Structure 1
Amino acid sequence: MNLFKRGMIFVTFFGSCLTIALIVAAMGTKFWIVARARRLSNPEESNGKINFGLFKGKKELNVAYGWRTYEINIVEQLHADREFLIYGLWVATIGCLCGALLFSALSAVFAVINTASTPSGAITGVPGLYLWNTLAMFFDLAAVSLWAVQFYQKLQYNVMSIEDRDNMWSSSQMSAFGYSFWFVVGAVVVHFVNIVVIYIGTSEGREKKVPQPMIEEKSNGAIMLY
């Protein structure tokens, strides 16, 4: 394996590490959704700001008496109010991110192995690098898609708790995707770039190997003439 090919494969190691960091940040931060809120009974005198991630969040409400801050625990809120999120989509999003983490880690590990040596097996070699990056990208895309469905089916209409809804609070049409969500979109892009880099690196390797059989054939022909 030539130096260029090894170098290009090693670049994908850094890309895989970046995707791991992006996914971990997405799961740990509290900005999958950001929203504003108003109290329907007095919209001019009320204001609210809400943000939450897959597990935690924060809510700030002001009813003309000053801002009050509340912590949001998604698991507890789901137990208290099954209408808050579509439970199956929430679980599936977390599961897909865990799958993306696993395959991102595998793509990083095998990028190092392929840089240091030339594995004979397909799964451990260059075809495996395509596989791990493609699977990681698939799970990232699945998580993005599931959360988008969650947003358009549920979160764009209301992100308030049942107590807030009973108190006439609403965030209808005032919600948007936060930066935690876009971290996962970024991971999709990085894995796609990894696949392109692997293709460029291995294609270069194949091009350099093409003349070799011709040279060997000419040498063998000359020997036969003698």
Structure 2
Amino acid sequence: MDHNERQRRLFIFLTFVLSCLAVALLSAAVGTDYWIFSRLKDLSSDGERGGALNNETARAARQVYLRNRPGGLIHFGLFHGFVRHNRGLGDRQAELQTVCDVYCAHVMIVDPENPSLHLSVPSMVHNVSDSGEGTYRDLSYTELCGLISVQEPNAVLSDIHMFNYSLWAATVFFVSAAIVCGIVSAIFSLLNTTYTPVAVINGIAGIYLWNSIGIFCSLLCIFMWIGLYYSTFQYNVLPAELLYPIPKFSTCGLTELGYSFWLCLVALLLYATNIILLTVKDLTMRRATVKNIVPAHNENMFMY
């Protein structure tokens, strides 16, 4: 095996390693519950802070209580999550489960050993009771976020505990497709490391193709989740149990994209790195081929 062939196989083997790493990162993103992370702001404390307290000692004790009283936190992934909140009676925590029908929503699981014990899914997703009336009232932007909207002072956030099913399903589909592309790309890279396939599509062109599709799927997955973030999650990520009839907590303006989401971006960059490596390999091999074809100056002679 000459130097050029060893170099070619080294570049291809690197694409195999990066493809495996991309698959691992995307699988970790699907399996972890940190696509969204937020702390809980205690709205009831803000309202009670304005009450009149005549006794200075009571007022000081109340301020210490409010200052040390944690609101809680919430984080979730594509299918599961976790919420911890405190209403003044100690920490309460629960697991979250994503349920979807026409829309999607997070429901708090009462018993982790029996995930079916949660709120009624039909009323949660359709926002309709047995009588045909709405189960959850609309919340104003001011009521939920504690701010007055300059452009729309009476803006209403309807069904803010639910989020778009199409965007969620598209996110799940494209992240799954990106994983499949990474697996196929790794197989193609391993085959091309051991031998040179006869069919063009099974060779370097196939590695180019599957990494390009992996980039496309990862990018769409990122766009779908960002769409969910800006349409719903930036205003609220709390389940209905913590919002109705009166919201005790708020996550408006506190929500962040978690590390599980950023793993998808890293996987996209790994797929792009594979294409860069293949391009560098092709350029290096082309230069070596041209160098071998062009004769040296002292070899310009004719044989008769």
The normalised TM-score by structure 2 is: 0.68
User: Which deviates more from structure 2 when the two are superposed, residues 166-175 or residues 139-148?
Assistant: 166-175
For 1:41, the equivalent position in structure 2 comes to 44
For 2:232, the equivalent position in structure 1 comes to 154
1:183 aligned to which of 254, 259, 263: 263
Distance (Å, rounded) in 2 between the aligned partners of 1:152 and 1:122: 43
Instruction: Give the aligned length.
Output: 221
For 1:124, the equivalent position in structure 2 comes to 202
For 1:24, the equivalent position in structure 2 comes to 27
* SS, match of residue 197 in structure 1: helix
- Deviation per CA, 1:89-146, whole angstroms, max 9, x where unpaired? 0000000011101110111001111111112322211121111111101111111111
Distance (Å, rounded) in 1 between the aligned partners of 2:42 and 2:236: 12
Distance (Å, rounded) in 1 between the aligned partners of 2:283 and 2:191: 19
Calculate percent identity across the aligned residue pairs. 33
Q: Relative contact order, CA 8 A, sep 6+: which one is greater?
A: 1
For 1:69, the equivalent position in structure 2 comes to 93
Amino acid at match of 1:81: V
2:11 aligned to which of 8, 11, 14: 8
Amino acid at match of 1:71: E
Structure holding more helix per residue? 1
Q: Is the 8 A contact 1:81 1:162 kept in 2?
A: no
Q: Is the 8 A contact 1:32 1:181 kept in 2?
A: yes
Of structures 1 and 2, the larger Rg is shown by: 2
2:166 aligned to which of 81, 84, 88: 88
Distance (Å, rounded) in 2 between the aligned partners of 1:156 and 1:125: 45
The normalised TM-score by structure 1 is: 0.91
C-alpha displacement at 1:5, in angstroms? Answer: 1.1
Distance (Å, rounded) in 2 between the aligned partners of 1:96 and 1:124: 24
The yes-or-no answer on 1:58 pairing with 2:58 is no
